[in-house]
Structures are given as structure tokens and as C-alpha cells.
Structure 1
Amino acid sequence: MTCKKGGFVCIRHDKVRDLTASMLREVCRDVSTAPTLLPLNGEHMQYMTANTANEARVDVSARGFWTRGQRAFMDIRIFDPMAACYQRIALEAAHEKNEQDKIRSYGDRIRNVDHGSFTPLVFTTSGGMGPKAKYFYSRLADVMAEKKHQPRSHVVAWMRCRLSFSLLRSALLCLRGTRYSAPTTIDLAGLNYQATVVENSILV
């Protein structure tokens, strides 16, 4: 679940990134994956672990998600809570540690150089979310439900199901190794969340 050989961990990360970007495109403008941050021009970062590379990138950006006109940046991390480095700390502390690592890497730079907001989206390999990720997807569900005129409970149920299956498929890929499957695309523009949830017996 943590071995980077074969690129399976990267595939796991990219699936969640692409799913998040596709949902953001339904409610925001100027959505992009792997956007490059503005280069530094002598600015001093608060933390020594800040990413100061000129070609630094985050996973997703969208304009107007938190504040109208402001660009929001999100970076995803999926960690294995059973890894040796997390065995001596509680799960909540592991989520917080990973969120703080991301904030120290990008938060100060995005706030002061790109003049945007930054949200770390932290998941466990089994589907758990960090506090900031829960708040982000809750906000995303609110906006999607309002725009699509769909019950919020069904949008939330659909979203949780999609994220859980994305992580589950990726976990199986990491455990079993390579296995080809044709790439799938999601047509969210015409999706009826309520009908999808009811037809597939997804718990609300």
C-alpha cells in the first residue's frame, strides 16, 4: 500500500484528483489539474519545509469555490494508516499531521504569492477523510445540490460512494498489481443524483 514501484500509488492519487476536478467543473470556473504556482521573487516563507521550487504544482485549482473571484488550491494526500510511521499515534493525529505537512509546504506561498486559498485533502487508503477534506466535500455537495436542484442527501451519498469506490479500486490495484481496465469517464452534466442513489440502493 506504500510501495511506489510500478506507479500504483500515483494512480491511486490521480484517480481521486481527477474525480475531484470533474465535480468542481460542475460548479466552478477555471478548474485545472496540476496547476503551476507563481514563481517566488525573493519572498520569505514561514516554514523551512515550504516548497520554494519555481515549477511547484498542486493537484487542483478552481476559481470561486470558497470566495467569489478568488482562486482555491487543493492538494491531495492518501496515506496508509497501517504504515509503520503511524503505528504509535492515533488516527486523528495522523490526519492532522498530514494536513499540517501540506499546509507548511504550500499554505504560506499560496496565500501570499498566488493570493488564493489552500485546502489539504487528506484521505486514508481505506476511505477515511481528514477534517479539512470533510469540510471541503461538504461545501462541494452543498453547491452541487443547489446548482443541480437535487436533494443534498442524495448528492452527498453519491459523492461518498464515488470517492470510496475510487479508493477501493486503487487499493486493490496496489495489492494485486497491474491489471488493465478501460478508462471510464463520468458525465456529471446530465446525472440525476437522486435516481442514481435510489436505483443503486446507496444508503443516504
Structure 2
Amino acid sequence: MTCKKGGFVCIRHDEVRDLTASMLREVCHGRLHRANPSASRWGTPAVQDSQYRPEARVDICARGFWTRGQRTFLNIRIFDPMAASHRELSLEAVHHRNELEKIRAYGDRILQVDHGTFTPLVFTTSGGMAPKARSFYSRLADLMSVKKHQPRSSVAAWMRCRLSFSLLRSALLCLRGTRYSTPSNTDRGDIDCEATLVESGIRVDRLGIE
């Protein structure tokens, strides 16, 4: 669940990001952004501070979510609660630590430079939410309920189901996906084939090659 090979950790993050952006698009005005420079239809909102970490990117930006006319910046983190670094802490403490790390990295600059609000969306790989994420999706359920003219309880249940299945799919991918290393390119011109065969103990007569 924490292995970086195969890109599964990024896939897990990106699926929740895309799902959240698609739901926000239904209720917020202005342009939504995802931190995916390769996607031609989306921009990447940079944190406007050149003093440090000028390359910092948030995952989503939407206007009018918490306050009318004000931009809200969102950054998503999904962590494995069973990781070795979390074993000595309670789940509530780990949620709080992850939220604080995101706020320290983005909060002051977004408030002072971009004049917006910042909300960290912290999940566990098993589907749990940190307090600020719960507040965010509760507000999103309220807005979608009004927009769709549907009961809030139904909208909240649908939203929770979508998020849970998204995390479940990505968790299964992380557990069952194939890990691989990028093959290194070897200069075949410098290889002594005969010496290599002798050193490795390979018998030519058993290779079936003439």
C-alpha cells in the first residue's frame, strides 16, 4: 500500500481528485483545476509565492464553495494507517498530523497571497476521512442536494458510496498490481558472449538455438 513502484500511489490519489473535481463542477462557478499538467483541458493552480517552494501545486481550485466569490484550494492526501510510521499513534492523531502537514505547506501562502481558503482532504486507504474532509464533503452534499432538488441524505449516501468504491478500487490495484523496475539499457557491443556463458554456467546445447 506504500510502494512507489508501478505508479499505484499516484493513481489512488488521482482517482479521488478527479471524482471530487467532477462533483464540485456541478455546484461551483468558475474554473476547476486539477494538478495534471499533461491534461490539455485543465490548468494547474500554482501557489503564488516565489520565496519558497514556487513549484508547489494544489490539486483543485473552485470558486464560491465556502464563501461566495472566494476561491477554495484543495489538496488531497491518502495514507496507509498500517504503515510503520503510524503504528505508535492513534488514528485521530495520524489524521491530525497529516492535516497539519498540508496546512503548513499551503495554508499561509494561499491565505496571504491568493486570498483564498485552503482545505486539506485527508483519507485513509480504507476509506476513513479526517475532520476537515468530513466537513468539506458535508458542505458539498448540502450544495448538491439544493442543486439537484434531492434529499440530502440520499446525496450524502451516494457521495460516500462513490468515494468508498474509488478508494476500494485503488486499494485493490495497489495490492494486486504488478511492480516493476525500469529496465536498464545495456551496451550490447561490450558484452563477451562466450565469457558470459561460461561464467553463468549456461550450456549451449540446452538452449535449443542453432
Give the TM interval when normalised to the shorter protein.
0.7 to 0.9
What TM-score, normalized to structure 2? 0.78
Report what 2:106 is aligned to.
106
2-structure distance, mates of 1:77, 1:67: 24
Letter in 2 for 1:39: Q
1-structure distance, mates of 2:109, 2:116: 9
2-structure distance, mates of 1:41, 1:33: 21
2-structure distance, mates of 1:40, 1:83: 33
Report what 1:145 is aligned to.
145
How far off is 1:53 after superposition? 2.2
Letter in 2 for 1:132: K
2-structure distance, mates of 1:127, 1:72: 23
2-structure distance, mates of 1:64, 1:94: 30
Letter in 2 for 1:31: L
Question: Where does the alignment leave 5 or more consecutive residues of structure 2 unmatched?
Answer: 36-43, 179-210
Letter in 2 for 1:144: M
Report what 2:203 is aligned to.
none
Report what 1:46 is aligned to.
none
**In 2, are the aligned partners of 1:138 and 1:156 still within 8 Å (CA)?**
yes
Aligned-pair Cα RMSD in Å? 1.0
Report what 2:97 is aligned to.
97
Looking at CA atoms only, which structure, 1 or 2, has the larger radius of gyration?
Answer: 2
1-structure distance, mates of 2:149, 2:47: 37
What TM-score, normalized to structure 1? 0.81
**In 1, are the aligned partners of 2:110 and 2:117 still within 8 Å (CA)?**
yes
**In 1, are the aligned partners of 2:32 and 2:61 still within 8 Å (CA)?**
yes
The 1:123–1:41 alpha-carbon spacing in structure 2 relative to 1, beyond 3 Å, is closer
| Percent of matched pairs sharing the same residue | 73
**In 1, are the aligned partners of 2:142 and 2:152 still within 8 Å (CA)?**
yes
How far off is 1:38 after superposition? 4.3
Letter in 2 for 1:22: S
